[in-house]
Protein backbone atom coordinates (compact mmCIF):
# COMPACT_ATOMS: atom_id res chain seq x y z
CA UNK A 1 0.00 0.00 0.00
CA UNK A 2 1.12 3.60 -0.59
CA UNK A 3 1.72 6.06 2.25
CA UNK A 4 -1.42 8.20 2.08
CA UNK A 5 0.01 10.72 4.54
CA UNK A 6 2.98 11.46 2.28
CA UNK A 7 1.05 11.49 -0.97
CA UNK A 8 -1.33 14.09 0.45
CA UNK A 9 1.52 16.49 1.31
CA UNK A 10 1.95 17.70 -2.27
CA UNK A 11 -1.13 19.90 -2.06
CA UNK A 12 0.78 22.10 0.40
CA UNK A 13 3.33 22.86 -2.34
CA UNK A 14 0.75 23.68 -5.01
CA UNK A 15 1.58 27.38 -5.34
CA UNK A 16 5.20 26.82 -6.42
CA UNK A 17 5.22 23.24 -7.74
CA UNK A 18 4.80 24.23 -11.40
CA UNK A 19 7.71 26.67 -11.36
CA UNK A 20 10.04 24.65 -9.11
CA UNK A 21 9.79 21.23 -10.76
CA UNK A 22 11.70 20.71 -14.03
CA UNK A 23 9.99 20.32 -17.38
CA UNK A 24 10.24 16.84 -18.87
CA UNK A 25 12.47 16.59 -21.95
CA UNK A 26 10.90 17.05 -25.37
CA UNK A 27 12.46 13.71 -26.39
CA UNK A 28 10.33 11.97 -23.76
CA UNK A 29 7.12 13.13 -25.41
CA UNK A 30 8.52 12.26 -28.84
CA UNK A 31 9.21 8.73 -27.60
CA UNK A 32 5.75 8.48 -26.08
CA UNK A 33 4.10 9.33 -29.40
CA UNK A 34 6.45 7.13 -31.42
CA UNK A 35 5.89 4.03 -29.30
CA UNK A 36 2.12 4.43 -28.96
CA UNK A 37 1.33 5.82 -32.41
CA UNK A 38 -0.96 8.40 -30.78
CA UNK A 39 -2.00 11.49 -32.68
CA UNK A 40 -4.26 14.41 -31.70
CA UNK A 41 -7.12 14.64 -30.93
CA UNK A 42 -6.89 11.27 -29.13
CA UNK A 43 -8.45 11.24 -25.65
CA UNK A 44 -5.94 10.80 -22.83
CA UNK A 45 -6.43 10.14 -19.13
CA UNK A 46 -3.78 11.48 -16.75
CA UNK A 47 -3.47 10.05 -13.25
CA UNK A 48 -2.23 12.57 -10.69
CA UNK A 49 -1.72 15.64 -12.86
CA UNK A 50 -0.54 17.97 -10.09
CA UNK A 51 -0.66 21.52 -11.44
CA UNK A 52 -0.41 20.25 -15.02
CA UNK A 53 3.34 19.76 -15.45
CA UNK A 54 2.93 16.89 -17.92
CA UNK A 55 -0.57 17.93 -19.03
CA UNK A 56 0.30 21.23 -20.68
CA UNK A 57 2.76 19.89 -23.30
CA UNK A 58 0.23 17.30 -24.48
CA UNK A 59 -2.66 19.78 -24.40
CA UNK A 60 -0.59 22.14 -26.57
CA UNK A 61 -0.20 19.33 -29.11
CA UNK A 62 -3.98 19.15 -29.44
CA UNK A 63 -4.83 16.09 -27.35
CA UNK A 64 -8.08 15.89 -25.41
CA UNK A 65 -7.18 15.23 -21.77
CA UNK A 66 -9.11 14.21 -18.68
CA UNK A 67 -6.88 14.61 -15.62
CA UNK A 68 -7.55 13.24 -12.15
CA UNK A 69 -5.84 14.94 -9.20
CA UNK A 70 -6.14 14.05 -5.51
CA UNK A 71 -5.20 17.48 -4.10
CA UNK A 72 -7.90 20.16 -4.35
CA UNK A 73 -5.39 23.02 -4.42
CA UNK A 74 -3.25 21.31 -7.05
CA UNK A 75 -6.38 20.56 -9.08
CA UNK A 76 -7.34 24.23 -8.95
CA UNK A 77 -3.83 25.19 -10.13
CA UNK A 78 -4.14 22.73 -13.01
CA UNK A 79 -7.48 24.20 -14.06
CA UNK A 80 -5.92 27.67 -14.14
CA UNK A 81 -2.91 26.47 -16.12
CA UNK A 82 -5.14 24.63 -18.61
CA UNK A 83 -7.79 27.35 -18.93
CA UNK A 84 -6.98 28.03 -22.60
CA UNK A 85 -7.51 24.38 -23.56
CA UNK A 86 -11.25 23.62 -23.62
CA UNK A 87 -10.63 19.94 -24.42
CA UNK A 88 -8.79 19.45 -21.12
CA UNK A 89 -10.62 18.94 -17.82
CA UNK A 90 -9.46 18.29 -14.26
CA UNK A 91 -11.34 16.13 -11.76
CA UNK A 92 -10.59 16.41 -8.04
CA UNK A 93 -10.36 12.85 -6.78
CA UNK A 94 -7.95 10.04 -6.10
CA UNK A 95 -7.65 7.64 -9.02
CA UNK A 96 -8.74 4.80 -6.77
CA UNK A 97 -12.00 6.51 -5.78
CA UNK A 98 -12.79 8.21 -9.09
CA UNK A 99 -15.84 6.79 -10.84
CA UNK A 100 -15.56 7.36 -14.59
CA UNK A 101 -18.71 7.77 -16.69
CA UNK A 102 -20.26 4.48 -17.84
CA UNK A 103 -18.53 3.18 -20.93
CA UNK A 104 -15.65 5.68 -20.68
CA UNK A 105 -12.63 4.67 -22.78
CA UNK A 106 -9.34 6.43 -23.37
CA UNK A 107 -6.65 5.96 -25.99
CA UNK A 108 -3.90 6.34 -23.38
CA UNK A 109 -3.70 6.31 -19.60
CA UNK A 110 -0.54 8.00 -18.34
CA UNK A 111 1.04 9.19 -15.10
CA UNK A 112 4.08 11.41 -14.59
CA UNK A 113 5.72 11.04 -11.14
CA UNK A 114 2.36 9.99 -9.67
CA UNK A 115 2.08 6.27 -10.43
CA UNK A 116 4.11 5.15 -7.42
CA UNK A 117 1.55 6.82 -5.13
CA UNK A 118 -1.44 4.87 -6.47
CA UNK A 119 -2.59 1.69 -4.75
CA UNK A 120 -0.93 -1.23 -6.60
CA UNK A 121 -3.97 -3.39 -5.91
CA UNK A 122 -6.08 -1.00 -7.99
CA UNK A 123 -4.05 0.90 -10.53
CA UNK A 124 -3.27 -1.66 -13.24
CA UNK A 125 -6.71 -3.26 -13.27
CA UNK A 126 -8.48 0.09 -13.33
CA UNK A 127 -6.23 1.48 -16.06
CA UNK A 128 -6.82 -1.64 -18.19
CA UNK A 129 -10.57 -1.35 -17.77
CA UNK A 130 -10.45 2.19 -19.17
CA UNK A 131 -8.55 1.23 -22.30
CA UNK A 132 -9.64 -0.52 -25.47
CA UNK A 133 -7.80 -3.62 -26.59
CA UNK A 134 -4.27 -2.57 -27.59
CA UNK A 135 -4.68 0.71 -25.68
CA UNK A 136 -1.58 1.96 -23.89
CA UNK A 137 -0.47 2.78 -20.36
CA UNK A 138 2.57 5.06 -20.01
CA UNK A 139 4.32 6.04 -16.80
CA UNK A 140 7.46 7.97 -16.03
CA UNK A 141 9.10 9.60 -13.06
CA UNK A 142 11.71 12.28 -12.46
CA UNK A 143 14.36 11.22 -9.97
CA UNK A 144 17.66 12.60 -8.78
CA UNK A 145 20.43 11.12 -10.94
CA UNK A 146 24.08 10.69 -10.00
CA UNK A 147 26.17 10.23 -13.16
CA UNK A 148 29.94 9.95 -12.97
CA UNK A 149 31.32 13.31 -11.89
CA UNK A 150 28.09 14.53 -10.25
CA UNK A 151 28.24 17.80 -8.32
CA UNK A 152 30.17 17.33 -5.03
CA UNK A 153 27.61 19.59 -3.32
CA UNK A 154 25.45 16.50 -2.88
CA UNK A 155 28.11 14.60 -0.96
CA UNK A 156 28.39 17.55 1.42
CA UNK A 157 24.66 18.02 1.88
CA UNK A 158 24.17 14.28 2.37
CA UNK A 159 26.22 14.61 5.56
CA UNK A 160 23.66 17.12 6.79
CA UNK A 161 20.77 14.75 6.05
CA UNK A 162 22.57 12.00 7.96
CA UNK A 163 23.27 14.29 10.94
CA UNK A 164 19.56 15.19 11.03
CA UNK A 165 18.53 11.54 10.94
CA UNK A 166 16.95 12.09 7.53
CA UNK A 167 19.31 9.92 5.49
CA UNK A 168 17.98 6.73 3.92
CA UNK A 169 20.90 4.57 5.05
CA UNK A 170 21.82 3.63 1.50
CA UNK A 171 25.40 3.29 0.30
CA UNK A 172 26.91 6.56 -0.92
CA UNK A 173 27.26 7.51 -3.68
CA UNK A 174 24.12 6.11 -5.29
CA UNK A 175 24.43 4.07 -8.50
CA UNK A 176 24.65 5.94 -11.77
CA UNK A 177 21.45 6.18 -13.86
CA UNK A 178 22.33 3.22 -16.06
CA UNK A 179 23.07 1.03 -13.03
CA UNK A 180 19.88 1.83 -11.14
CA UNK A 181 17.19 -0.75 -11.88
CA UNK A 182 13.69 0.47 -12.61
CA UNK A 183 11.00 -1.99 -11.43
CA UNK A 184 8.18 -0.51 -13.48
CA UNK A 185 8.49 -2.81 -16.48
CA UNK A 186 8.41 -5.86 -14.21
CA UNK A 187 5.31 -4.45 -12.47
CA UNK A 188 3.58 -4.01 -15.83
CA UNK A 189 4.21 -7.63 -16.76
CA UNK A 190 3.37 -8.97 -13.29
CA UNK A 191 0.00 -7.22 -13.38
CA UNK A 192 -1.16 -9.59 -16.11
CA UNK A 193 -2.86 -6.63 -17.78
CA UNK A 194 -0.07 -5.09 -19.85
CA UNK A 195 2.78 -6.21 -22.08
CA UNK A 196 5.71 -3.79 -22.15
CA UNK A 197 6.33 -2.39 -25.62
CA UNK A 198 9.26 -0.14 -24.76
CA UNK A 199 11.26 1.76 -22.19
CA UNK A 200 13.47 4.79 -22.62
CA UNK A 201 15.71 6.54 -20.10
CA UNK A 202 16.26 10.29 -20.25
CA UNK A 203 18.97 12.07 -18.25
CA UNK A 204 19.34 15.84 -18.14
CA UNK A 205 20.76 18.54 -15.87
CA UNK A 206 19.63 21.85 -14.45
CA UNK A 207 21.49 24.60 -12.64
CA UNK A 208 20.01 26.03 -9.42
CA UNK A 209 20.70 28.95 -7.15
CA UNK A 210 20.27 28.30 -3.44
CA UNK A 211 16.76 29.75 -3.39
CA UNK A 212 15.73 27.88 -6.54
CA UNK A 213 16.98 24.63 -5.06
CA UNK A 214 15.25 25.25 -1.74
CA UNK A 215 12.01 25.89 -3.66
CA UNK A 216 12.50 22.56 -5.42
CA UNK A 217 13.11 20.72 -2.13
CA UNK A 218 9.87 22.23 -0.87
CA UNK A 219 7.95 20.18 -3.45
CA UNK A 220 9.19 16.79 -2.22
CA UNK A 221 7.00 14.86 0.21
CA UNK A 222 9.81 14.01 2.62
CA UNK A 223 10.85 17.65 2.94
CA UNK A 224 7.27 18.90 3.26
CA UNK A 225 6.68 16.41 6.10
CA UNK A 226 10.05 17.08 7.77
CA UNK A 227 10.07 18.70 11.21
CA UNK A 228 10.27 22.49 10.68
CA UNK A 229 13.46 22.90 12.74
CA UNK A 230 15.23 20.20 10.74
CA UNK A 231 14.01 21.66 7.46
CA UNK A 232 15.23 25.15 8.35
CA UNK A 233 18.63 23.79 9.39
CA UNK A 234 18.90 21.92 6.08
CA UNK A 235 18.01 25.03 4.10
CA UNK A 236 20.59 27.10 5.99
CA UNK A 237 23.23 24.55 5.06
CA UNK A 238 22.20 24.69 1.39
CA UNK A 239 22.65 28.46 1.46
CA UNK A 240 25.97 28.21 3.33
CA UNK A 241 27.48 25.66 0.95
CA UNK A 242 26.44 27.51 -2.19
CA UNK A 243 27.58 30.87 -0.82
CA UNK A 244 31.17 29.61 -1.10
CA UNK A 245 30.86 29.17 -4.88
CA UNK A 246 31.70 31.98 -7.28
CA UNK A 247 28.35 31.69 -9.09
CA UNK A 248 26.37 30.40 -6.08
CA UNK A 249 24.86 27.54 -8.10
CA UNK A 250 24.72 23.76 -8.12
CA UNK A 251 24.08 21.26 -10.91
CA UNK A 252 21.43 18.62 -10.29
CA UNK A 253 20.94 15.76 -12.74
CA UNK A 254 17.54 14.22 -13.38
CA UNK A 255 16.59 10.82 -14.72
CA UNK A 256 13.21 9.79 -16.12
CA UNK A 257 12.43 6.28 -17.32
CA UNK A 258 9.44 6.14 -19.66
CA UNK A 259 7.72 2.75 -19.60
CA UNK A 260 4.92 1.96 -22.03
CA UNK A 261 2.68 -1.09 -21.93
CA UNK A 262 -0.05 -2.29 -24.27
CA UNK A 263 -3.22 -3.71 -22.80
CA UNK A 264 -3.27 -7.49 -23.23
Amino acid 224: pLDDT: 92
Check if the beta carbon of residue 139 is closer than 8 Å to that of residue 248: no
**Domain locations along the chain:** 4-148+176-207+252-263
Region 130-139: mean pLDDT is 96
Q: Is 32 exposed, middle or buried (0-12, 13-18, 19+ CB in 10 A)?
A: buried
How far is it, in rounded angstroms, from Cα 107 to Cα 42? 6
The CATH number assigned to the domain with range 4-148+176-207+252-263 reads 3.40.50.150
| CA separation, residue 190 to residues 4, 187, 263 (Å) | 24, 5, 13
pLDDT digits (tens, 9 = 90+) for 217-263: 999 989 999 999 999 999 999 999 999 999 999 999 999 999 999 99
The pTM for the full model equals: 0.92
Amino acid 1: pLDDT: 41
Q: What is the DSSP letter of 105?
A: -
Alpha-helix residue ranges (DSSP H) falling in 21-71 = 26-36, 55-60
Region 109-137: mean pLDDT is 96
Contacts of 34 (CB under 8 A, 6+ apart): none
| Average pLDDT score over the chain | 94
pLDDT digits (tens, 9 = 90+) for 165-222: 999 889 999 999 989 888 999 999 999 999 999 999 999 999 999 999 999 999 998 9
The alpha carbon dihedral of 205, 211, 213, 219 has a sign of negative
pLDDT digits (tens, 9 = 90+) for 10-69: 676 677 889 999 999 999 999 999 999 999 999 999 999 999 999 999 999 999 999 999
Amino acid 240: pLDDT: 98
Amino acid sequence: MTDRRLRETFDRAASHYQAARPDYPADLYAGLLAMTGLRPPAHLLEVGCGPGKATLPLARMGFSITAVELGPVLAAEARRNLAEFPDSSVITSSFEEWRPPPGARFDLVYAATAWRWVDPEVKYAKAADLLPRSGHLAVWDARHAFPVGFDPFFTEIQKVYDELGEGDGAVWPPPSPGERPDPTAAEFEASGRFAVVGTRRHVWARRYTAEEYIALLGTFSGHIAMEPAKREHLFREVRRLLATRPDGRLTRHWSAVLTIGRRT
